Chains A and B, each alone.
Chain A
Amino acid sequence: MKKRLYLELENCIGCRSCLAACTQCGGHEQRNRNYVYDVNPLVNRQTMPLMCLHCVNPACARSCPAQAIQIHETGAVLSALVEKCIGCQNCTIACPYGIPKFDTEQNLMYKCDLCIDRTKDGIPPMCESVCPSNTLQWLTDEEIEAKNQQFNLDNGKWVTSMPYLEGETNVRVNLPGILQGVTKLF
């Protein structure tokens, strides 16, 4: 059963376990490729994670002159192939969420590959495996649909895509209750 990464943003407690776990994925060479942001840093402690959403039509790959960013058959948008990336950094400028990182010394882009060595066999990515607050989840489409039913919101705001994101994505995001106009019960 194909599962996908699913984010319930406001659950985040800011522990940054996902960043630490990311460094430990094979091939990530000890460097994390995801982000955790303070939502309103001078006012409260709410945080939210941000990672590659694995766009269906990825701007990073479309802008790459070297075809270094491949799209895996699972839909994951992979990190740059080391022998192909020519170091132009187009991808960093193109990504609507500012995800790809660039190593100037190695002249190489690196980004979230959804831990492809794991997810290609149906094992959840590292970040999801360690998230203690259920912000990151690994669910089938049916389970995501069931959550949708449970909240029974008919206003199109339950799972983000348009207009909150810039295009369809393989990772699904659940908008915080604030935007949905509801208080969620867990």
Chain B
Amino acid sequence: MQSTISPANQTEHSINSAFASHFAKSMFFTIVGLAILVFIGTRMFSHIDLNLYGYMVGTIVFIGGFFYRFIAWGERPPTKIIIKKGLKLLFRKKTVKTAVNHLAIYDFIKKRGFYRWLQHVLIGWGCILACLVTFPLVFSWMYFTMADNGYYTVVVMGMDVIKVKADGIIAWLSYNALNISAIMVITGVCMALYRRMKNMQARAEQKFIYDLLPLYLLLFISVTGLLLTVQNVFLAGFLQPQMSLIHQFSVIVTLIYLPFGKLAHIPFRPMSVFARNYREHYGEQHMKECKVCGNHFVSVEQSNDVIQVLDVNDIHFNMEDGFNLAELCLPCRRKYRISRFSGIPTHQVKHKEANQNARG
């Protein structure tokens, strides 16, 4: 792709050449960034909770796996285009709305079925909630101190933010946030497992490693997490250190697995916001007219991008009739194929395509 090699990149070149690969560079800057954040959050390392050390290692392994996957993925020509143009269009007004829709309330999943939407909300938000509580604690970006009796001070990034009553509602919610998230995830996972047992199509297609393992892992984490609370509250901490290790182990295994299996869609999903912006922005700018019927069917930009991506893959669809196949709207492209099969110029016949929907 010529467009990516511009003079502006020359200055970056010197920084890039200091690292063996994109991977090394991203890894380096992320770990440094993380270390700085921990440094600030812990008031210069004076307040680290070493019980959570295992999670810290797990997170770093996860980051490594994530970059490895993401960079390999981002090198593919079509992905590169979406990432590049998506970043450029990030500050559109519609971004916020699309992001909330795609990443928070999952409207499009509701259209695929209410049951699946509910299960996704429970699992998704259960996990987000758990991460929002766990990771700030792990890296000591947030912790609690008790100066006055009966009041906790919440310290975020080294600053005292609020004082809460130790038996108040906010404190209760914070102690129980992980229990609530565990119950959400368990409910969601059970719904998903039930669907996978009952739905014949799901049963025919599912693979253990891809479809079931992530569910079992989430279940494993949530159940061991909840058991910790049970041991604490009802069994006076009986066998709690052991369970705590098992729980930590389950989280670390999941973090390592995450970039490679089905759960990888979590870090990659924001790309759907890029894709929407890309379609909307270039669609408003200039639409492509079908070379046969003249209907607008896609943005000029996307049509060109697809032709270019296919060229890189050594796939060329330039026809003798003087167009590229990506320049025909879909009905015309199908009719054009029929004409190639039959020798009759079907696509030139001014006749609306017959109904192609079996359900009328």
Known interface pairs A32-B358, A65-B271; A42-B78 also in contact (CB < 8 Å): no
Report the interface size class on chain A. 35 or more
* Chain B residue at smallest Cβ distance from A84: B265
Q: Report the stretch among B55-63, B159-167, B170-178, B345-353 that lies at the interface.
A: B345-353
| Interface assignment of A39: CB less than 8 Å from any CB of chain B | yes
Q: Report the stretch among B19-27, B181-189, B227-235, B309-317 that lies at the interface.
A: B309-317
Decide if A35 touches B356 in the complex (CB within 8 Å): yes
Decide if B275 touches A87 in the complex (CB within 8 Å): yes
Across the interface, A90 reaches (CB within 8 A) one of B201, B306, B356, namely B306
Contact with A along B39-53 (1 / 0, CB 8 A): 000000000000000
The answer for the CA separation of A173 and B82 in the assembled complex, in Å, is 35
Q: Which residues on B sit within 8 Å (CB–CB) of A26? A: 200-201, 204
Decide if B358 touches A16 in the complex (CB within 8 Å): yes
* Residues in B100-158 with C-beta less than 8 Å from chain A: 102, 108-109, 111-112
Q: Give chain A nearest CB distance to B139 CB in angstroms.
A: 28
Most interface-central of B268, B332, B341 (chain A CB within 10 A): B341
Decide if A19 touches B358 in the complex (CB within 8 Å): yes
* Residues in A125-149 with C-beta less than 8 Å from chain B: none
Known interface pairs A26-B200, A32-B357, A65-B78; A98-B330 also in contact (CB < 8 Å): yes
* Residues in A99-122 with C-beta less than 8 Å from chain B: 99, 103, 105-108, 116-117
How many residues of chain B are within 8 Å of chain A by beta carbon? 61
The answer for the CA separation of A31 and B356 in the assembled complex, in Å, is 10
The answer for the CA separation of A61 and B342 in the assembled complex, in Å, is 27
Decide if A9 touches B309 in the complex (CB within 8 Å): no
Q: Which residues on B sit within 8 Å (CB–CB) of A93? A: 298, 302-303, 306, 326
Known interface pairs A65-B271, A66-B271, A84-B268; A31-B333 also in contact (CB < 8 Å): no
Main secondary structure of the interface of B (DSSP, over half): helix
Known interface pairs A23-B359, A59-B317, A88-B278; A105-B111 also in contact (CB < 8 Å): yes
Q: Which residues on A sit within 8 Å (CB–CB) of B241? A: none
Q: Which residues on A sit within 8 Å (CB–CB) of B338? A: 37, 39, 48, 50
Across the interface, A108 reaches (CB within 8 A) one of B112, B279, B298, B328, namely B112
Decide if B275 touches A88 in the complex (CB within 8 Å): yes
* Chain A residue at smallest Cβ distance from B78: A65
Decide if B201 touches A27 in the complex (CB within 8 Å): yes
Decide if B76 touches A65 in the complex (CB within 8 Å): yes
Known interface pairs A37-B338, A98-B331, A107-B108; A59-B275 also in contact (CB < 8 Å): no
Query: Which 5 residue pairs are nearest across A and B when measured between Cβ atoms?
Result: A98-B333, A117-B204, A26-B201, A88-B275, A86-B272
Sample (23) of A-B pairs whose CB atoms are under 8 Å apart: A9-B342, A20-B358, A26-B201, A27-B205, A35-B334, A36-B356, A37-B354, A38-B351, A40-B342, A48-B338, A48-B342, A50-B334, A62-B313, A65-B78, A65-B79, A84-B265, A86-B274, A93-B306, A96-B333, A96-B337, A98-B330, A98-B331, A117-B204
Residues in chain A within 8 A of chain B (CB atoms): 9, 16, 19-20, 22-23, 26-27, 30-32, 35-42, 46, 48, 50, 57, 59, 62-67, 82-84, 86-90, 92-99, 103, 105-108, 116-117, 160, 164, 166-167, 173, 175-176, 178-179
